[in-house]
Amino acid sequence: MNEKKTVIVLILLATFLPQAYSEMDFTIPPNFSFCGEPLPLDRDDILERIDTQLRLHTRNMGQVELWFKRKHRYFPYIESVLTANNLPDDLKYIPVIESSLQNTAVSPKSAVGPWQFIASTARLYDLNVNQSIDERRDLIKSTQAALRYLKSLYDEFDHWSTAMAAYNIGENRIRQECYHQGTSDYFEMVLPYETDRYVPNIIAAKIILENPDHFGIDPIKLEAYNDPESVPVTLTFTSDFPAKVLAYLSGVSYRGFRSLNPSYIGVNIPPGTRTMTIPKSHRENLEARIEQYRKKAGDLVKFHRSPAKSVVAEEAFLRIGPGNEYPVFRKLSKGTSFKADARTATKDQGEYWYLFIQKNGAGGWIWGGQLND
């Protein structure tokens, strides 16, 4: 964009955005409550804190619109768990503020997932966090853990707003402040800046999402992001299984597989019985396709350790599986050498497919006829 066009755009933005902003209705709805608890809206400072967050959110309408486009992925399940456990429906607005409804969100303090658990707290609530699996990214498991945690905080502090503050800053810090300040009422406490605006932030998200017309938002025009029609599947793995191969056998890219299964963060699916999500179109005969790969890849021949091998063909390819039917992920030129471990191979119709394994467990297969002896 040239300088003249840039100036015109800035003038248009300066002309129209303030007008649209001034037409928004920031009035808190009458008889407004949060988590079934009345708010002290007769206090000017409480009104100011909520109004501030409303205005800050609506200055970033792109982010607000993303809430509307993403919420169909999160709210139905969260609402079902809240109802089943007789918990306030308003708790569903916490992940809006925590992660903007993104299961891959990571904070500067290494909190992860839609509910932004740090690793230590996640493990306390039975979430698996390691190099291969991070269940903080799993909507179902992290939601169940987060609501257990919030319920325990509410049982201690007897106010949902204070429970949320403890969720944000930690229950030990809130206990200290209760003793120091002689109150367990969040709205009467002096707290660090982030926690002081944390609950007003969540309240503002509720007001916006429940009253989009007040802020010039037409949810019908904000089409929800599409997701592939998918189904859960439970598979048992007796050893590490390459995630890229499982993605291919499931009919999606590696990125697509990770998008459907954000908690599987390693290059391999670890041993055990695992539940994951795959496109419905590729559910049929998935186990048979996995078994075919296992049979090929499992028919290994052991070789003595040898110096790094090199490509002797004019052109060679690394594939994700032992056979020409598997996708290529790297094109190799003559003379390319490998420092990776290549001591094992699988035999296919009289030819060997060498398996190259990297230190992190990743690897690929290459036809032995393309390598020096």
Is 315 in the same domain as 284? Answer: no
Task: In whole angstroms, give the CA distance from residue 248 to residue 7.
Answer: 48
Higher pLDDT, residue 1 or 42: 42
Task: In whole angstroms, give the CA distance from residue 34 to residue 47.
Answer: 14
Altogether, the residues listed in the chain come to a count of 373
Q: What confidence tier does 217 reach under pLDDT thresholds 50, 70, 90?
A: very high
Higher pLDDT, residue 79 or 299: 79
Residue 53's pLDDT is: 96
Residue 4 lies in a domain: no
Catalytic residue among 98, 135, 210, 351: 98
Is 143 in the same domain as 258? Answer: no
pLDDT of residue 128 exceeding 70: yes
Q: What is the CATH number of the domain that holds 363?
A: 2.30.30.40
- State residue 138 phi and psi, 5-degree precision: -85, 120
Q: Which residues are CB-contacts of 96 (< 8 A; sequence separation ≥ 6)?
A: 67, 71, 202, 205, 209
Q: Which residues are CB-contacts of 211 (< 8 A; sequence separation ≥ 6)?
A: 25, 29
This prediction has a pTM of 0.88
Is 180 in the same domain as 321? Answer: no
Is 194 in the same domain as 76? Answer: yes
Choosing from 157, 182, 215, the residue where a domain stops is 215
For 91-106, how does the pLDDT look when each residue is reduced to its tens digit (9 = 90+)? 999 999 999 999 999 9
Q: With the C-alpha atoms ordered 117, 121, 122, 128, is the resulting torsion angle positive or negative?
A: positive
Is 36 in the same domain as 91? Answer: yes
Tell me which of 37-41, 58-62, 123-127 is least confident: 37-41
Check if the beta carbon of residue 356 is closer than 8 Å to that of residue 317.
no
Is 70 in the same domain as 204? Answer: yes
Residue 10 lies in a domain: no
Task: In whole angstroms, give the CA distance from residue 26 to residue 63.
Answer: 18
Residue 18's pLDDT is: 47
Residue ranges of alpha helices (H) inside the chain are: 3-22, 44-58, 61-84, 94-99, 119-124, 139-157, 160-169, 171-181, 193-196, 198-210, 243-249, 254-260, 286-298
Task: In whole angstroms, give the CA distance from residue 329 to residue 327.
Answer: 6
Rounded percentage of the chain residues whose pLDDT exceeds 70: 93
Residue 322 lies in a domain: yes
Choosing from 298, 325, 346, the residue where a domain stops is 298
The boundaries of the domain holding residue 181 are: 23-215
Residue 247 lies in a domain: yes
Residue 2's pLDDT is: 60
Residue 248 lies in a domain: yes
Is 158 in the same domain as 290? Answer: no
Residue 9's pLDDT is: 54
Is 288 in the same domain as 142? Answer: no
Q: What is the CATH number of the domain that holds 62?
A: 1.10.530.10
For 336-356, how does the pLDDT look when each residue is reduced to its tens digit (9 = 90+)? 988 777 778 888 777 889 988
Domain count for the chain: 3
Active site residue 65: no
Residue 11 lies in a domain: no
Check if the beta carbon of residue 364 is closer than 8 Å to that of residue 327.
no
Residue 92 lies in a domain: yes
Is 312 in the same domain as 289? Answer: no
Choosing from 215, 250, 270, the residue where a domain stops is 215
Q: What confidence tier does 21 reach under pLDDT thresholds 50, 70, 90?
A: low
Question: Best-predicted range by mean pLDDT among 5-19, 67-81, 327-341?
Answer: 67-81
Is 86 in the same domain as 189? Answer: yes
Q: What is the mean pLDDT of the chain?
A: 91
Is 159 in the same domain as 247? Answer: no
Residue 356's pLDDT is: 87
Residue 170 lies in a domain: yes
Is 256 in the same domain as 346? Answer: no
